């Protein structure tokens, strides 16, 4: 397989962690006989410095012309005083809009080797945590009409929550397709006991279920889901939900797994060209020190192989290599336990090298 990947190294620790993901992809290509080529794209603070714009049009075009995009992170204190539309984060929003990605997919997975970092009780963690939250990204209450009126002598604020059948159907399909590539269980989360938009959501999900007989669909109210994520997260495989519920639940889910440096995410639209990135920011406090954890970005590259290129074996190989390195006791500073436990502290480059060393054709 030949694929061109747009690489946005970004700011802060971005270039360091993307470099390690690139080396891992090169090893996968060598092992499995693929050709991955890379197009460097400037975005964020570095693009402001170079071009006076966090995402010049030709940089966006490079992403649109690629088969998928891998991003480190953007932003940092250097650009804090840049005016609103030219801020580094605006580049990211313009990239998401330009790519038309309406589905954000965030795994919540606990690595058994890091179980002690979870704030949940041991007996809950021991049952295993490995699920994916598929969040609708471009509709719902965040994109409805927002207004503050003056009525009867006081202010009244209104935020409109609107979903069309077609918006629900397209995110629903991503949920079903993702479940199909995992353990075949999809939980649709809504608030259909109160909201019309949720009743429509539930109806469309059940219509779609007829097209996916191999996927088991269940429904859950969002308040119950928030409880179940801390009570028994092992019950979930894929959760599909609307924008605001997904925003809140995905942050809750990332907390129960331990370190921010370990979690990847993907954003997808109607094409297979997706945006893959770790969930953390540019960590300017540790940039340039070779201590950042590259695993979130390396796992984002694995997600790209699985979901955009349909290369499940290759994605599995990367995840197995990460697991093997953790088994061997190697840890970057952010996932190093407080007490001495026989773990070996390594830097960003060394962590990347160890993962590559453990990468084998499964």
Active site residues: 142, 191, 223, 247, 251
Least CB distance from residue 334 to ligand NAD, whole Å? 4
Closer CB to ligand NAD, 219 or 350, in the complex: 350
Question: In the numeric block, which tokens belong to residue 232?
Answer: 């028994």
Query: 2-10 and 68-73: which strand pairing?
Result: parallel
Rounded Cα–Cα distance for residues 219 and 205 (Å):
9
Query: 275-278 and 68-73: which strand pairing?
Result: parallel
The residue within the footprint of ligand NAD, chosen from 68, 293, 308, 358 (CB under 6 A), is 293
The residue within the footprint of ligand NAD, chosen from 211, 223, 285, 327 (CB under 6 A), is 285
Closer CB to ligand NAD, 264 or 269, in the complex: 264
Quick check: 282 binds ligand NAD (CB under 6 A)?
yes
Question: In the numeric block, which tokens belong to residue 27?
Answer: 């090893």
φ, ψ for residue 37 (rounded to 5)? -110, 160
Rounded Cα–Cα distance for residues 21 and 27 (Å):
10
Q: Whose CA is closest to 201, among 233, 170, 224, 223?
A: 170
Interface with ligand NAD: number of residues (CB under 6 A): 21
Helix (H) or strand (E) holding 250, with range, is: helix 243-256
Quick check: 258 binds ligand NAD (CB under 6 A)?
no
Quick check: 46 binds ligand NAD (CB under 6 A)?
no
Quick check: 269 binds ligand NAD (CB under 6 A)?
no
Closer CB to ligand NAD, 175 or 261, in the complex: 261
Rounded Cα–Cα distance for residues 177 and 194 (Å):
28
Quick check: 322 binds ligand NAD (CB under 6 A)?
no
Question: In the numeric block, which tokens belong to residue 297?
Answer: 């970005």
Quick check: 292 binds ligand NAD (CB under 6 A)?
yes
Closer CB to ligand NAD, 238 or 283, in the complex: 283
Quick check: 280 binds ligand NAD (CB under 6 A)?
yes
Least CB distance from residue 12 to ligand NAD, whole Å? 6
**What mask, x for binding ligand NAD by CB under 6 A, covers residues 328 to 347?**
------x-------------
Quick check: 287 binds ligand NAD (CB under 6 A)?
no
Q: Which residues make Cβ contacts (< 8 Å) with residue 171, sequence separation at least 6?
A: 102, 103, 134, 136, 240, 242
Segment interacting with ligand NAD (CB under 6 A) among 51-59, 141-149, 248-256, 276-284: 276-284
Least CB distance from residue 92 to ligand NAD, whole Å? 6
Burial class, 361, CB count within 10 angstroms (exposed 0-12 / middle 13-18 / buried 19+) = exposed
Q: Which residues make Cβ contacts (< 8 Å) with residue 245, sequence separation at least 6?
A: 135, 189, 190, 191, 222, 225
Number of alpha carbons in the 13 Å side-chain half-sphere of residue 204: 24
Rounded Cα–Cα distance for residues 228 and 272 (Å):
32
Least CB distance from residue 245 to ligand NAD, whole Å? 20
CB 16 within 8 A of CB 65: no
Quick check: 73 binds ligand NAD (CB under 6 A)?
yes
The residue within the footprint of ligand NAD, chosen from 296, 302, 311, 355 (CB under 6 A), is 296
Question: In the numeric block, which tokens belong to residue 157?
Answer: 């604020």
- Nearest-CB residue for ligand NAD: 281
Closer CB to ligand NAD, 286 or 317, in the complex: 286
Least CB distance from residue 297 to ligand NAD, whole Å? 8
Q: Binding residues for ligand NAD, per CB under 6 A?
A: 13, 73-76, 89, 92, 260-261, 277, 280-286, 292-293, 296, 334
């Amino acid at each position: 397989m030949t694929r061109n990947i747009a690489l946005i190294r970004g700011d802060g620790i971005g270039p360091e962690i993307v470099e390690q993901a690139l080396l891992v992809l090169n090893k996968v290509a060598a092992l499995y006989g693929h050709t991955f080529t890379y197009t460097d794209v400037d975005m964020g603070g570095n693009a402001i410095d170079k071009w006076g714009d966090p995402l010049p049009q030709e940089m966006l075009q490079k992403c649109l012309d690629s088969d998928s995009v891998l991003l480190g992170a953007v932003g940092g204190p250097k650009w804090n005083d840049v005016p609103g539309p030219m801020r580094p984060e605006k580049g990211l929003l313009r990239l998401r809009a330009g790519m038309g990605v309406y589905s954000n997919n965030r795994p919540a997975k606990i690595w058994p080797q890091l179980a002690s970092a979870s704030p949940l009780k041991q007996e809950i963690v021991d049952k295993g945590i490995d699920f994916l939250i598929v969040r609708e990204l471009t509709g719902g209450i965040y994109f409805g009409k927002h207004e503050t009126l003056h009525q009867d002598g006081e202010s009244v604020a209104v935020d409109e929550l609107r979903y069309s059948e077609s918006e629900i159907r397209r995110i629903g399909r991503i949920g079903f397709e993702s479940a199909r590539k995992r353990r075949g269980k999809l939980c649709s989360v809504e608030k259909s006991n109160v909201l019309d938009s949720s009743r429509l959501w539930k109806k469309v999900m059940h219509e779609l279920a007829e097209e996916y007989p191999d996927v088991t669909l269940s429904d859950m109210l969002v308040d119950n889901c928030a409880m179940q994520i801390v009570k028994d997260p092992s019950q979930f495989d894929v959760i599909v939900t609307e924008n605001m519920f997904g925003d809140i639940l995905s942050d809750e889910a990332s907390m129960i797994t331990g370190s921010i440096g370990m979690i990847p995410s993907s954003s997808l639209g109607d094409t297979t060209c997706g945006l893959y990135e770790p969930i953390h920011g540019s960590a300017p406090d540790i940039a340039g020190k070779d201590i950042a954890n590259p695993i979130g970005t390396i796992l984002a590259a694995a997600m790209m192989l699985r979901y955009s290129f349909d290369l499940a074996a290759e994605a599995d190989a990367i995840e197995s290599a990460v697991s093997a390195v953790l088994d061997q006791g190697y840890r970057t500073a952010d996932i190093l336990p407080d007490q001495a436990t026989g773990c070996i502290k390594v830097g960003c480059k060394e962590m990347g090298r160890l993962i590559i060393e453990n990468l084998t054709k499964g």
